[in-house]
Chains A and B, each alone.
Chain A
């Protein structure tokens, strides 16, 4: 056994024991590279702050309570928007997915509204509701809703007929079939839709906070932009990235895998 082998073995064992931690490994050389580029002073500090300054700034933002407050604001908006979006989208998606006529009548309309895109709604929402929470909530609900509806419909419609026949021949009623067979079958799609929807919703939130915001991470970044304080922008970006990374790969992706892969269903 060579030295390299045992070293590799140690890394593999460590990565297997702490899969969440091994995700941070590639960031170490990246941050080192970042620090090195700043140290070379290729770009003025006003354009590119160093890792240490960013750390200092984030500490002071934390200390002053700005970062936790803004972060809380953004998270609450996203959570409320996502919950409302799902509450509307899933029943609607089930209805459209089960009903051929409703599908024919609404599918193009759904695609069209999905295509307009959340952010394009901002100006008219500002006219309707002004700068405020309503506008922001509307945008997030809207953004989360469409991917969830579209994917739910897809999931319901791609249910395998032989499963429904099997349930039927085992004596299940129509409602029982819906809840025991069709919906679980559509679940992986619904979760994929939710994952996409939240991904878009998250971006819409940032945009809304930048354009209409009075608080939140997006507002923090844009306010910093106005003041020309680049380190606060970078803090905002890092917080956004970490947060979404956590939500996406530690919560959403595992749920998606747990349903899709466990059941051997292919999520498309």
Chain B
């Protein structure tokens, strides 16, 4: 018999885990500084730690970092939320019939593999440079992956489970609410996680090309002036934001559904 998972949110072990996670990263910073000092690396090629920190503080002090970060996050939020709101109902609608879902799934796979970056040229043509084009790229990256995963999730709900619901007197609306949506949820969450991974990269790429604000633009602007220290700082910020988003928001969500419910997941 499977014992119940022990959820023990003891702050002590959490802190220990956080320390265990941070230590190697601190080690990396120390190695970085040592390498730069010992080998006397040209700061144009790779700056040392204090220079990057100073540059970072500069962007924080003049408010430009906050501007770029909010611009990027706002685009991601709008694109992702819109995509999820449209993709989940559509995926469920198509997944309801097995015939329809197996017929349509190649279409969605096709667009899912195109997701994100490949849409940048046509998006800039349709929407011009700026918020519209970038949000469209993010929307695309998330929409097709989530729709495809939702379709997959609904169509892989075991037949006996649907039969059980039917023989317990479930109406159409109740079937949707009580069975199809929760049954597809692990797949939906996985889809969101994958889609946002593509969207985040698409965002950086699109911002390099098609805007004058945001983290990608910050990177590219710094390159134009050979401000390597700003480039490195922006890269670190990008890494931290995605790590926080993925590990503290998306991964726990995935675990809460997939593991607790014991539903096996195919990637």
Direct touching of A and B (C-beta under 8 Å): yes
- Chain A: residues with CB nearer than 8 A to chain B? 23-27, 30, 47, 104-109, 111-113, 115-124, 126-128, 192, 196, 199-200, 202-204, 206-207, 210-211, 218, 221-222, 224-225, 228, 230, 233-234, 236-237, 240-242, 244-245, 248-249, 266-268
- On chain B, the residues within 8 Å of A199 by CB distance are 113
Whole-angstrom distance between the Cβ of A249 and the nearest chain B Cβ: 7
User: A116's closest neighbor in chain B, by CB?
Assistant: B239
Which listed residue (A104, A115, A207, A225) contacts B239, Cβ 8 A? A115
Enumerate 12 A-B pairs (CB-CB under 8 Å) in ascending A order.
A23-B106, A104-B24, A108-B21, A108-B23, A109-B28, A117-B239, A119-B208, A120-B234, A122-B219, A128-B45, A192-B267, A267-B267
Whether, in the assembled complex, B243 has its beta carbon less than 8 Å from a beta carbon of chain A, the answer is yes
Which residue of chain A has the shortest Cβ distance to B206 in the bound complex? A207
Which residues on the B side are within 8 Å of A228 (C-beta)?
125
Question: Which residues of chain A have C-beta atoms less than 8 A from B243's C-beta?
Answer: 111-112, 115
The answer to whether residues A115 and B246 also contact, given A120-B219, A123-B220, A210-B209 and a CB cut-off of 8 A, is yes
Residues on A with beta carbons closer than 8 Å to the beta carbon of B20: 104
Give 6 closest A-B pairs by Cβ, nearest first. Answer: A123-B223, A116-B239, A225-B121, A23-B106, A207-B205, A115-B242
SS class, residues of chain B in contact with chain A: helix
Cβ contact within 8 Å between B231 and A233 = no
Q: Which A residue's beta carbon lies closest to that of B99?
A: A8
Scan B141-160; emit 1 where CB is below 8 A from any A CB, else 0: 00000000000000000000
Residue among A124, A196, A267 making CB contact with B231, cutoff 8 Å: A124
Q: Of A203, A206, A241, which one neighbours B111 at CB under 8 angstroms?
A: A241
Interface residues of B (CB under 8 A from A): 20-25, 27-28, 44-45, 103-104, 106-107, 109-111, 113-122, 124-126, 197-198, 200-202, 204-205, 208-209, 215-216, 219-220, 222-223, 226, 228, 231-232, 234-236, 238-240, 242-243, 246-247, 264-267
- The residues of B that contact A245 with a CB separation of less than 8 Å are 106, 109-110, 113
Q: Are B124 and A225 in contact (CB under 8 A)?
A: yes
- Which residue of chain B is the closest to A205 with respect to CB atoms? B117
Q: Is the interface of A mostly helix, strand, loop or mixed?
A: helix
| Interface pair B204/A120, CB less than 8 Å apart | yes
A127→B223 contact, CB < 8 A: yes
**Given known A-B contacts A108-B21, A117-B200, A221 and B121 have beta carbons under 8 A apart:** yes
Q: Are B24 and A113 interface neighbours, CB within 8 A? A: no
Alpha-carbon separation in the docked complex, A75 to B258 (Å): 36
